[in-house]
Structure 1
Amino acid sequence: MLPFKLSHVTAGFIAMLVGYTSSVAIIFQAIDRLGASAAQANSWMLVLGLGMGLSTLFLSLRTKMPVLTAWSTPGAALIALSAGLSLPEATGAFLFCALLLIATGLSGWFDRLARLVPDTLANAMLAGILFSFGMKIFDGIGTDAALVAVMAAVYLALKRWAPRYAIAAVFLAGLSYVALTGGFAGARLPLALAQPVFVMPDFSVPALIGLGLPLYLVTMSSQNMPGVVTLRGDGYEPDIGRAITVTGVTSLLLAPFGGYAFNLAAITAAICTGPEADDDPATRYKAAVFAGAFYVGVGLMGATVIGIFVILPPALVLTIAALALLGTIGNSLSAAMSARDDREAALVTFMTTASGVSLLGIGAPFWALVIGLTVRLALRRKSPGQAA
């Protein structure tokens, strides 16, 4: 008997697929803004895949929990919007951010802060993050309604008769439909292993303050906090300080080659922490192990992987991600609304997160917690022992 299930392989593969396709375009924009060469661009894709894969493998195997890591998507957007920085100056800023991440992980303060967030609000934030992503299935309907309909029909059929294999069947059905309708006709993929390219960092004070510090702040508030919430939402309590330290060390080692910042994953982690990955929470870490292995594999292939993600229809990726997250979205919403006294605060937290609002360069999840905690404090009922 195999030591893993098909659902582990499927969840790991979909997590990798979503991790790349959801934000790889932003990575390309960041690379272009810094004036990187084609070889340096391939180096970025290599080390980003290796960094996510190896850190995910280490944390998941060490903790026996589905702890996934990811590149910092808001960090990539920040790089893409930066102006006047050379690649060596940006590399120096990446190293500075990595040192801040390591210091944060070793201090343990972020772990203590995360535990102050009530479970209801944490689940509401997670539901808002995943809801925004799941809603993109309707973008897929607008571009290729027939493909989405085929995948949805297969999902409903398998969900009723063989739920464990539903997501795998949906993905295969989507690929088959695209192939039969000529979607892959004429596609050619370069087959070559990527090579790392070292960039000597230049520690410029304006770059450290203008890019390194903001990169650290958005990675912590918009990535690591949702990542913690995702794990907690499905009942996992890893050593958050150690996990952030691992992502910081990974960033430090790979920054000169293009690994600008790594953090705990949220959306991709939810694919591996939920019931779709495995009915048994104790063995869901195997889905994360497969995700890590897939990350390593696609990272090594560099330009080939870029070509694959270019030819996959966006509707296919959006649909498979949305269907894979349905269970986690439902569970998170249910948990968020379970406590009557916290219901309004949780609802506001969910709505703020789902809105995608950004203030001062900080994303919606952070502000959702700030606003939700404020509402909860304002509406908290006094206990019977308190004076009126």
Structure 2
Amino acid sequence: MRQVWRDFSLSTGMAGLVAVLVGFTSSAAIVFSAAQALGATPAQMVSWMWALGIGMGMTSLVLSLWYRQPVLTAWSTPGAAVLAVSQGVSLPEATGAFMVCALLTMVVGFSGWFERLMGQIPLALASALLAGVLARFALDAVGAVVHAPALVMAMTGAYVLGRRWWPRWSVPVVLLVGMGVAALQGQLHLSSIVWTWALPVWVNPAWSWAAMVGVALPLFVVTMASQNLPGVAAQRASGFDIPVSPVVGATGLASFCLAPFGGYALNLAAITAAICMGQESHADPTRRYTASVTAGVVYIALGLAGGTIVSLMAAFPQALVLAVAGLALLGTIASGLSAAVKDEQQRDAALLTFLVTLSGVTVAGVGSAFWGVVVGGLAQWFWTRRQAGSH
């Protein structure tokens, strides 16, 4: 623990805080919608926040300390979207489906199947995948200028100046400037935050084929394809060789234990993890794990105070969150694009992967990250075979 304190810095701490801010505020509303669609009571919705906060916090904290590398987990946002549109499934039946999904995640994780699949994806395609996933946030930040021009332009100016004179502190400076401008405009409502402790509520799981087919399998597929896949890509593109099998298996184990309390699906983070793994977190890659450790501690605190999440979401204007996320990820996006187009033989396939991923297209309930890899991988395979056949 003494080594952790020596490795910790203000920049990694701020990176962890920004990651949590972006993670919660960007998709917490979808999680609430999912809980409501399944008939959860207000107390059970608070329990969901407790379970997800504890799950994300403990897995991020323990795995980051164990591997001394930035491992950040998250709830399955596309999984929550699947749950939000589910019909005719009760909360107990959905809870049983959560546990089955977690068991499937444990199997493909601990068995090494998912890691072997990831081993077949070239680094150029993985980098393009990451850049495509993150570029959407940068575009959202640009779009936020329309709704809050003064706020976003002030934050952009702070980023430009920060990158010029204080590159390591550019993101914290952006956040502080954004909070200051939002406060002057009356858009920051910190006084409205109400701190209340969360209590876990147990839901007895029930089993039905309808829930297995309609909830468990779609939840598993979208979580693996749209969350874990770009999560591993983010790690590799950032230069971290984190063991895939035990980490993915651990998220499944945590999900299984927390499913009766509302922990529907945990997975590797991609967008928020990139904030912790980027150079803005710390110039020394060996010390960036303290950013995800910080995020883990904050996640646990927010999970314990799950009743505060709604008021916390309302405290920050959406434009501020979008601008912080987009600006914090610019360096990682540039690195991903650079690695994607570096190899001329893989450049075209990598660009296809980037464009399909950036499009945000969803087919059969599976997000664009999966289809980007499929399209780019098939194109690279076809072109490689053509070149081999011509010799």
If the length of structure 1 is used for normalisation, what is the TM-score? 0.97
Contact 1:341–1:381 (Cα < 8 Å) also in 2: no
Letter in 2 for 1:79: L
Shift of 1:375: 1.2
Residue 76 of structure 2 aligns with which residue?
A: 72
Q: Taking structure 1 as reference, are residues 359 and 70 closer, same or farther at Cα in structure 2, changes over 3 Å only?
A: same
Q: 1:179 to 1:342 in 2, by over 3 A?
A: same
| More divergent stretch after superposition (2-11 vs 197-206) | 2-11
Contact 2:190 2:315 in 1 (8 A): no
Shift of 1:3: 3.9
Q: Which residue of 1 aligns with 2:108?
A: 104
- Residue 380 of structure 1, CA deviation: 2.4
- 1:148 and 2:166 matched: no
Match of 2:284 among 280, 283, 287: 280
1:312 partner amino acid:
F
Does 2:122 align with 1:118? Answer: yes
Of residues 7, 32, 39, the one that matches 2:36 is: 32
Question: What's the CA shift string for 1:8-64, capped at 9, x where partnerless?
Answer: 111000111111111111101101101111100111011111100100011111111
**1:318 and 1:327 mapped to 2: Cα distance?**
16
Amino acid at match of 2:273: A
Contact 1:36 1:87 in 2 (8 A): yes
**Counterpart code for 1:278:** H
Structure 1 vs Structure 2 CA RMSD: 1.5
1:246 is aligned, of 244, 247, 250, to 250
1:192-236, CA deviations, whole angstroms, 9 ceiling, x for partnerless residues?
Answer: 101100000111121012101111111111111101100000111
Structure 2 contact 189–314 (Cα < 8 Å) conserved: no
Paired residue for 1:359, among 350, 356, 363?
363
**1:335-360 deviation line (CA, Å, top 9, x unaligned):** 00001111111111100000011111
Query: How many residue pairs get matched?
Result: 387
Instruction: Report how far residue 161 of structure 1 moved.
Output: 0.7
CA distance in structure 1 between the aligned counterparts of 2:155 and 2:275, rounded to whole angstroms? 18
Q: 2:184 aligns with which of 180, 184, 187?
A: 180
What's the CA shift for 1:383? 6.7
Inter-partner Cα distance in structure 2 for 1:129 and 1:178: 27
* Aligned-partner Cα distance in 2 for 1:387–1:254: 55
Aligned: 1:135 with 2:143: no
| Shift, 1:176, TM fit | 1.2
- In the other structure, the counterpart of 1:23 is 27
| Identical counterparts, % of pairs | 48
| 1:1-388 equivalences in 2 (<5 Å) | 3-184=7-188, 187-380=191-384, 388=391
**Separation of aligned partners in 1, 2:10 and 2:190:** 31
CA–CA distance in structure 2, aligned partners of residues 133 and 185 of structure 1: 24
Structure 1 residue 183, shift from structure 2 partner = 1.9
Distance 1:278 1:107 in 2: 34
What is the SS of the residue equivalent to 1:182? coil
In structure 2, how many angstroms separate the alpha carbons of the residues matched to 1:54 and 1:103?
A: 21
Please identify, of 109-118 and 301-310, the stretch whose mean Cα deviation from structure 2 is larger.
301-310
Quote the offset at 1:381 in angstroms. Answer: 7.0
Unaligned runs of 5+ in 2: none
